Structure 1
């Protein structure tokens, strides 16, 4: 009898372990909607966050924790998911309180405009994937999903069945092979896209529109749970191109907040105070780009510092995670800016001045010593002996570590990061993780990998005519 029980227990444990591994592989790898929330619950240092920003993509596209830390010493985390419903926000707050008691919770009000009992399926999937299994998750599924699909969100093998045919190499890597990045991740997603927008004219709208009953119910629950746990809460509307009807709902939400003596700030009523420029500060109508987010974050940070008890955490070893997150952000911006250059000399200069780059170069065809591009590569990458026909080079942190030396038969292989390798072979391969980055057979191919961010920064080719 004892042996039978032991076998059952062992079988159950093995099944649970296998199911957990399979689930991690099948889960979608989505930075904007999934990894931010999953990272929050996975990180061991989340109890150090003084502020939790909670809401939709208007949080992780508008508020940059790296700037808040670097310029104000504020430790914060963006616990947000694209178009998260207001009841999802409520369950995010409830679940987060198992881990931390922040000095302040800031809730973005964008999805106060929802008007249906259930969100679109793809939106709720983000919540179901990102939240850890708990009573809060089960209750949220009961609230957000109709009864006939409840089992679909609970059973991972059913939930992820459509992903079997989509799996690729990245799905088998923990945190997409970038464990260090997500170890310090605070969930801000930068963008240098610029889309011209028309500034909304809403300042003269004073009337209100009723909130959907379910939204209002969970709005009041959020206020109640913050008061029960004695955690200050601030409701905000981050800047975006809102409609007149949305402004009427925000007016109603502000009226309710005032009734319960909770601060409410609509930052769409004072664009001039933080110099928001609708010609260059938006990535799309709903979201700020990196320049716009920096302006808004600095303005918000100043307000928070002046109105709440928020210690300066800079230099405190307990907040090393925020220090590293700031470094990742700076490098991300550097890498994004690199790809905006159109002048070759300026591009090469920026590449040369960066730390942690591994650069693979394959030059196919015949060249002359006075070739402008050839001279630029040789000068910027300190290549003394540059060959004029079918040559390959590897530069690591501004040091030449490989040259094909004019040979037609060569093979170079180097591990350049976690789960990442570089291979150059006979002018036919310039590959990272088995993907070939040769785009032209008559010209120069360059691929740049950043060892710090563990990402391919750029892949360019210069056609020879």
Structure 2
């Protein structure tokens, strides 16, 4: 008996020592993320959440819960994170249902997180099609989020789900995901400094101010305040989606359906919506209406409301107002204030009346709006082997001019840094050609003069 008791004490002591060592190793090696720390610190402080918003960074930049609280008289929370996958939103939704008496759930269906696209596979030495959920780039954010969740049945389900195809040890023992940093003293020193800094601030977020005086900081209930405005020459973005070639991913669609069904099973009102993007981003997909049709079909099947604010009429929100955006993907504080008030108005209004506020398609929207030159989207390629070659071998960048008129004429010139004393050279004059090919190692400014019915718009693009 004594021997059995001694052995039991040894096992318990050994387990406690093992847990303590693992805890310390997690503290030393697991990356610190201020956003996730503040998000879940605020999440666990809530007595009850009435309205839950789920999505990626476009949500936490554009929907201000404090304003939404004032507009609705309810407690609103953004349970959203950078690059958040729809399967992650599902598990966060489950956790929120366990802890709260939810009245409404609003799921942002940003096209970037719901669709398929191509990535370069180094092993196969070719491009492969992936669903957003399968892109390895998005795994890191998922684990950071899991690390901040308190242990619960839902967290156990998340770990079990992602251990099927991934790193089992990484799920159970988070520090093992950072084994490549074992002797990286600079990383360890920096990570510990960040954690010590967070403790000294009592968990309060820092206000970051850049050289131009713009502020950025994390507010309560999942809102990122930023007052930066997109620069005037920030009119170019990489073409990351091609909705003529690919559209909604099967996995993305499946998990979206699970989110809707989970809400309906628990008698929670669920609404789908899409946070507005700057017009240039929508134009870069070349067939956004295809995505909207696929999303509409799902909403109709489940009899839930869908509001795509990329189709909002300019009388209610002018998406060509660049002062509302901090970059080509996200709104700033000014845009968030306008959008949150509009979103609250739409969500509490009669759905049939709301239809008057939206166009039926991007094609219709372009035809009804005044002529507008948005900017350029671009893709890189190799002159000999095209876009299917190894990205490290790309030597040209193809800029595609985006506007809302097919018969607009373009005069294009450019400067080249270090050449011609900064004097622009003419590339084309008053033609409908939209493509500008430039060697990838050259830099300068592109000047585009868009002419439509004797009216001119001139923009500059830093390349």
Q: TM-score, normalised by structure 2?
A: 0.57
Q: Aligned equivalents of 1:246 and 1:119: distance in 2?
A: 22
Return closer, same or farther for 1:99/1:188 CA change in 2, 3 Å cut-off.
same
Aligned-pair RMSD on alpha carbons?
3.3
1:73 Cα deviation after fit: 2.8
Conserved in 2, the CA contact under 8 Å of 1:81 and 1:127? no
Partner of 1:35: 37
- SS for the counterpart of 2:322 is coil
Conserved in 2, the CA contact under 8 Å of 1:26 and 1:171? no
**Structure 1 residue 159 corresponds to structure 2 residue 177:** yes
1:2 Cα deviation after fit: 1.6
Partner of 2:82: 82
1:246 Cα deviation after fit: 4.0
Partner of 1:12: 15
Return closer, same or farther for 1:50/1:268 CA change in 2, 3 Å cut-off.
same
Return closer, same or farther for 1:209/1:160 CA change in 2, 3 Å cut-off.
closer
Conserved in 1, the CA contact under 8 Å of 2:32 and 2:191? no
Q: Aligned equivalents of 1:293 and 1:113: distance in 2?
A: 25
Q: Deviations over 1:38-67 (max 9, x none)?
A: 3355x242x421111111111101101122
Q: Aligned equivalents of 2:154 and 2:20: distance in 1?
A: 23
Matches within 5 A, 1:45-64: 45=46, 47-64=47-64
Q: Aligned equivalents of 1:100 and 1:216: distance in 2?
A: 26
**Structure 1 residue 179 corresponds to structure 2 residue 203:** yes
Conserved in 1, the CA contact under 8 Å of 2:116 and 2:246? no
Q: 1:233 aligns with which of 253, 262, 270?
A: 270
Q: TM-score, normalised by structure 1?
A: 0.57
Q: What is the aligned length?
A: 300
1:123 Cα deviation after fit: 2.5
Return closer, same or farther for 1:96/1:51 CA change in 2, 3 Å cut-off.
same
Q: Aligned equivalents of 1:231 and 1:102: distance in 2?
A: 7
Q: Aligned equivalents of 1:261 and 1:199: distance in 2?
A: 38
Matches within 5 A, 1:139-154: 139-140=157-158, 147=165, 149-154=167-172
Q: Mark the runs of 5 or more structure 2 residues left unpaired by the alignment.
A: 118-129, 182-186, 207-217, 238-242, 352-463
1:85 Cα deviation after fit: 1.5
Q: Mark the runs of 5 or more structure 1 residues left unpaired by the alignment.
A: 201-205, 309-465
Partner of 1:268: 310
Return closer, same or farther for 1:143/1:5 CA change in 2, 3 Å cut-off.
closer
Return closer, same or farther for 1:291/1:271 CA change in 2, 3 Å cut-off.
farther
Conserved in 1, the CA contact under 8 Å of 2:86 and 2:252? yes
Conserved in 1, the CA contact under 8 Å of 2:271 and 2:305? yes
Q: Deviations over 1:68-125 (max 9, x none)?
A: 2244433111111111122111122122222113111111101222452544444222
- SS for the counterpart of 2:78 is strand
